[in-house]
Amino acid sequence: MKRASYVLTLLVLLAGIPAMSGHGAEPKEVSEIMQKKLKHAQKVLEGIAMKDFKKINNSADELLFLTREAEWKVLRTRDYENYSNEFRRNVQSLMKNAKEENLDACALSYVELTLTCVKCHKHVREVRMGRLPSLPSDSLRSER
């Protein structure tokens, strides 16, 4: 019963993640990387539901790989960088927990990872909505 509620909670959270594609404002590469992220996140969830630690680890490894792609970095803001780093830490925690075959810890890492995605997507939307149409997008990105 407890595991069923974990899985249900995870499904609800995953369903609530807004994809960055579909708004026409994203470059095709960003849309593709977000679709890959969603696919691998769903495979992690499947691994958790099926208690398949190898699937969890492999899919998490793919998520970590995606964060190294140039298209991953859609903004140059301090908050975006923090969310990306938090995402990487959550993925690494997920991989560690999968190697230790700790299903409850995997589920918690997955929830944390998902919440990081939601917060980051919200940040990206807010930054983009706040831009003035007459300014080039690079002029509004904060420098490191």
Cβ neighbours for 138, distance < 8 A, ≥ 6 positions apart: none
Q: What is the pTM of this model?
A: 0.72
> Does the pLDDT at position 62 exceed 80?
yes
Q: How confident is the model at residue 130 (pLDDT cuts 50, 70, 90)?
A: confident
Q: Which helix H or strand E contains 93, and what residues bound it? A: helix 78-99
Q: What is the pLDDT of residue 71?
A: 87
Start-to-end C-alpha separation, the chain: 47
Instruction: Give CA–CA dist 123/63, Å, rounded.
Output: 20
Q: What class is the 2-13+30-131 domain? A: mainly alpha
Measured at the CA of 91, the angle between CA 83 and CA 80, to 5 degrees, comes to: 10
Any idea where the domains of the chain sit in the sequence?
2-13+30-131
pLDDT in tens, 110-122: 999 999 999 999 9
Q: Of residues 120 and 140, which shows the higher confidence score?
A: 120
Cβ atoms of residues 57 and 92 within 8 Å: no
